[in-house]
Amino acid sequence: MIAIEILGPGCQRCDEAERLVKETVNEYRIEAQVEKIADFRQIAARGVFSTPAVVINGKVMTVGRVPRKSELLEWLGVA
């Protein structure tokens, strides 16, 4: 199972990143656990200081922007 974390306090772009990840996981039937992390201390502990950020299996994939769906699919091994 893939562990996906969306890091962000709940801003519009953070919500968009979360929506995109959840839609993609559902659409492609990817076995993944998606977790939203809004606590700034937990976000900073991952070395992230700009949001939104997407972390997959402990690796920070993007910071400060919403990923494109094509990027997300590549990271998840679907594309």
Domain ranges of the chain: 2-75
- The catalytic position among 4, 6, 14, 21 is 14
Query: Letter for the amino acid at 19?
Result: R
pLDDT, residue 78, reads 86
11 catalytic residue (yes or no): yes
Provide the terminal-to-terminal Cα distance of the chain, rounded to the nearest Å: 17
Q: In what order do the strands lie in the sheet with 59-63?
A: 32-37, 2-7, 53-56, 59-63
Residue 2 pLDDT grade (very low, low, confident, very high; cuts 50, 70, 90): very high
- The catalytic position among 3, 11, 44, 45 is 11
pLDDT tens column, 9-63: 989 999 999 999 999 999 999 999 999 999 999 999 999 999 999 999 999 999 9
- CATH number 3.40.30.10 given to 2-75: yes
State yes or no: pLDDT of 79 exceeds 80: no
pLDDT, residue 41, reads 96
d(C-alpha 54, C-alpha 62), whole Å:
5
pTM confidence score: 0.94
**Sign, CA torsion 12/35/72/61:** positive
